[in-house]
Amino acid sequence: MDAPVRARISRARTRPWPETWVAAAFIAPAAIVIVLVVLVPLARAAWMSLFDIALIRPGDEPFVGLGNYIDQLTSPDFWAAVWRSLYFTIASTSLELLLGLALALLMDQPLRGRWLLRTLIILPWALPTIVNALMWRWIDNAEYGALNALLTQLGLLDDYKVWLSNSDLAMWMVIIADVWKMTPLVAILILAALQSVDRELVEVAKVDGASSLQAFQRIVLPLLTPVILIVLVLRTMEAFKVFDIIWIMTGGGPANSTQTIAIYAYQTAFQGYDFGAGAALGYLIALIIMALAAVYLRLLGRTGRV
Amino acid sequence: MGHNLLARRGWLGRCAAISMAVLLVTACGGSAASPSSGPITLHALFMKQAAYSEQDVKAMTDAFTAANPNVTVVPEYVAYDALHDKIVTDQVGGSGQYDIVLMDAIWPAEFAQAGIVTDITSKIPAEFKKGVFESAWTAANYQGKTYGVPWINDSKFFLFNKKMLADAGITAPPKTWDEVVTDAKAIKDKGLAKFPMVGSWKQAEAVICDWVQLAAAFGMTEFVDADGKALFNTGGGLKALQFMKKLLDDGLMNPASLGFNEDDVNATVSAGQAAMALNWTYGYAVMNDAKQSKVAGQVDVVGSPGQGDVATSGVNGGMALAVTKGSKHPDEALAYALSIASQKSQELNTTLAFPMWTASFDNPELTKSNPSFWAAAKTQFSGLVARPVVPYYTKLSNALQVAIQEALQGKVTPEEALNGVAAKLPDLQK
């Protein structure tokens, strides 16, 4: 090392940056990126939601205040889409939770080949959503899909059903596809919690005369509650803003029967070019999800204190 | 988002254009240069699939550039689904890069009102006015003005499996929709197909095309009157929807049609599972292609059936070449459009698309490849009907798609479905 370099280093050593400056310097790149790609668009969208902006009508963008929000909140189409999203969310999340819990309990048993079972179970979750959606669209195809073939060959169905073209069935078909994909994640999360449960507690309860079911109900389940709530929060927020799987499988049809709120917002903004209303819808969706999350977090806080 | 940015780009673009112009003028020592004297690059936006292939477009373009050596044409191809958005996002603010864009039959009203495309009514050569099917212009017109040069001509034809019809004892293809029903019942009764018919009735533009074609056969001429009031919820529009519902109720139309697009229709007919269907020109080639079809060679085509006084009807599925408002070389762009839409150019390759010149249909050199299809096309192209020509078409179409599907699913009656959309019209026009 030559002398000038050494001199520079020692100068740097003698006059170090204040710690907060160093911290700020480290954080700055990430902070700048976040401001540019998250905060600026968020603020811009909030601003846009106050105007009547249609892409196809450049230059004519009157200020409408909360008009876009009021239009949406008084529109039957908006509430129908909210209701469909809730339906999808409640159905898929509860099924995923029940099946996930069952799978977790199964994987927790000291079975032979348990590692294989765990690997197989996680596979659906490893598939990209688009692939999963395309796969289920094929399975559900009325003419050459595997589902019709299977059910008719088993004698459970006399006639081919048009799963995705029937407005009473289509929503359930996307729910099934979503449950198939997301249950493994729920199972793995619950399994992790299960494995941290102290087995001795269960053994002690059994010695005291409790049945396996009672031991599960009174001891294991309460210990799992925090993780179950976390799973519920995650899945509810995800499911409420579901878009990709439905868009690929049904495009929101037939007769809008699978048009969830995210699809409604997309169609408003990017098919109707009504960007003001689209921005307002984005904020309304965010508000609903935040409200749902707040409810769960309150519940979570309460159980945390138990 | 970003409309200000686009506007700013427009401003920058104009500044750049002005400075370029100033530079040019000073360079030429103050003398005005003729617009086509220097080298010019035209950017053209086309569609990837259907009608002409990239090789076809290249051949057409080469013919133009050979005659206009100072012009270079840079073509760009996007999927149909991306075409509309690409044009709008590129052109809004008037600063787009494309000089010429391919415009679907349902967009002229919207594009004209948004100031995206140029009115070329006064610049259309006489031979085009005389030689092109009159109804083909409905793909480029809005409020009596023309905004594009018709380039792709297409409509939905009646395709049928002649073997299945013969097996059912039917000697001639149906000429009216009543005959279609009779023939479909015969095919179903003979057990030749569980559902003799199939349609692209998915919640998409596809279902609107079939409905419009049927509505025209049942006597509808206009969907919305000059005051913006709905006409589609009575007369032909309503009869067409009732007819579609009855086909489903009677088990003549495959119920999976409600989720099918045009490719699914081809697949179903090709699998020998349906005897009759409406589809675009390309369907005929697909259904008769031994590589893709079990019934290759059995599928024939005629003009779409009529009903009552209407001999035939065809939805206008054509597309036109429009010169953008943002183009810096509108004259050259129009010259290019007219060149590749000329009769000579259109006759270069007629395997996937019909020309839109009436004379082509009397040219035995062309028609000998499939005289019956050319004859069917000639009849149908003289009676093309446009889908509702309104600037809020996308919104109207989306509302109609949902209403039609609700009626076909039996959730509401056809009257209720169409009246519902009619009542919403003022909202859609906002």
One-letter amino acid for residue B202 of the chain: K
> Running DSSP on this structure, what letter comes out for residue A61?
-
**Cβ neighbourhood burial of A123 (10 Å; 0-12, 13-18, 19+):** exposed
Using an 8 Å CB-CB cutoff, list chain B residues near A41: 1
Going from the C-alpha of A123 to that of each of A93, A181, A201, A243, B254, the distances in angstroms are 19, 9, 33, 22, 36
Residue range B74-87, pLDDT digits in tens: 999 998 888 988 89
- Is B380 contained in some domain? no
Name A164's Cβ contacts closer than 8 Å, sequence gap at least 6.
A137, A140, A141, A142, A170, A173, A249, A250, A254, B259
Crossing angle of helices A221-240 and A76-108, in 10° steps, is: 140
Residue range B396-419, pLDDT digits in tens: 998 999 999 999 999 999 999 999
Q: Where are the domains of chain A?
A: 75-305
Average confidence (pLDDT) over B366-383: 87
Nearest residue of B to residue A42, measured between CA atoms: B1
Q: CB-CB: which of A166, A253, A273 is closest to B203?
A: A253
Going from the C-alpha of B405 to that of each of A253, B129, B255, B397, the distances in angstroms are 9, 39, 11, 12
Q: CB-CB: which of B1, B267, B406 is closest to A255?
A: B406
CA distance linking residue B288 with residue B303, whole number of Å: 17
* Domain shared by B167 and B26, yes or no: no
At B354, phi and psi to the nearest 5? -85, 150
* Domain shared by B107 and B43, yes or no: yes
Q: CB-CB: which of A57, A267, A279 is closest to B114?
A: A57
The ipTM, to two decimals, is: 0.72
Nearest residue of B to residue A168, measured between CA atoms: B409
Give the residues of chain A that fall short of pLDDT 70.
1-14, 303-306
Residue range B111-162, pLDDT digits in tens: 998 889 999 999 999 999 999 998 889 889 998 999 999 998 889 999 999 9
Nearest residue of A to residue B393, measured between CA atoms: A272
* Domain shared by B401 and B263, yes or no: yes
Q: CB-CB: which of B1, B114, B255 is closest to A56?
A: B114
* Domain shared by B281 and B293, yes or no: yes
- Is A166 within 8 Å of B409 when comparing Cβ atoms? yes
Does pTM surpass 0.90? no
DSSP characters over B214-278:
HHHHTT---SB-TTS-B-TTSHHHHHHHHHHHHHHHTT-B-GGGGG--HHHHHHHHHTT--SEEE
Residue range B191-202, pLDDT digits in tens: 999 999 999 999
The separation between CA B97 and the C-alpha centre of its own chain, rounded to angstroms, equals 24
CA distance linking residue A211 with residue A64, whole number of Å: 64
Radius of gyration of chain A (CA): 26
* Domain shared by B169 and B207, yes or no: yes
Q: CB-CB: which of B3, B273, B411 is closest to A143?
A: B273
Chain B neighbours among A 261-300 (CB < 8 Å)?
267, 270-273, 275, 279
* Domain shared by B116 and B180, yes or no: no
Nearest residue of A to residue B116, measured between CA atoms: A56
Nearest residue of B to residue A278, measured between CA atoms: B1
* Domain shared by B111 and B228, yes or no: no
Asked if A76 has any chain B CB less than 8 Å from its own CB, the reply is: no
Picking from B106, B203, B260 by the largest number of A CB atoms within 10 A of its own CB, the best residue to mutate is B203
Question: Number of CB pairs < 8 Å for A and B?
Answer: 96
At B152, phi and psi to the nearest 5? -110, 130
Residue range B253-266, pLDDT digits in tens: 999 999 888 989 99
* Domain shared by B200 and B232, yes or no: yes
Going from the C-alpha of B318 to that of each of B86, B103, B330, B333, the distances in angstroms are 19, 9, 22, 20
- Is B398 within 8 Å of A252 when comparing Cβ atoms? no
Structure tokens at B348: 């270069």
Cβ-based neighbour number of residue B372 at 10 Å: 13
Using an 8 Å CB-CB cutoff, list chain A residues near B409: 166-167, 254-255
**Cβ neighbourhood burial of B82 (10 Å; 0-12, 13-18, 19+):** exposed
Name B150's Cβ contacts closer than 8 Å, sequence gap at least 6.
B132, B136, B137, B139, B140, B318, B319, B320, B341, B356
What CATH number is attached to the domain comprising B106?
3.40.190.10
Q: Among 3.30.565.10, 3.30.310.50, 1.10.3720.10, 3.40.50.1370, name the CATH number for the domain at A75-305.
A: 1.10.3720.10
- pLDDT for residue A306: 39
Going by pLDDT thresholds of 50, 70 and 90, the confidence category of residue B24 is: very low
Please, what sign has the CA dihedral across residues A175, A178, A180, A185?
negative
Using an 8 Å CB-CB cutoff, list chain B residues near A142: 254-256, 259
* Domain shared by B337 and B302, yes or no: no
- Is B1 within 8 Å of A45 when comparing Cβ atoms? yes
* Domain shared by B289 and B414, yes or no: yes
Mean pLDDT of all residues belonging to chain B: 87
Higher pLDDT, B211 or A17: B211
In which domain, by residue range, is B14 found? 1-32
- pLDDT for residue A103: 92
Using an 8 Å CB-CB cutoff, list chain B residues near A166: 255, 258, 409
Going by pLDDT thresholds of 50, 70 and 90, the confidence category of residue B15 is: very low
- pLDDT for residue B80: 85
* Domain shared by B409 and B263, yes or no: yes
Name B75's Cβ contacts closer than 8 Å, sequence gap at least 6.
B44, B45, B46, B54, B57, B58, B61
- Is B385 contained in some domain? no
Residue range B295-333, pLDDT digits in tens: 999 999 999 999 999 988 999 989 999 999 989 999 999
- Is B92 contained in some domain? yes
- Is A56 within 8 Å of B406 when comparing Cβ atoms? no
* Domain shared by B142 and B167, yes or no: no
Cβ-based neighbour number of residue B423 at 10 Å: 11
- Into how many domains does chain B fold? 3
Quick check: A251 and A167 in contact, CB under 8 A? no
Percent of chain B with pLDDT over 90: 61
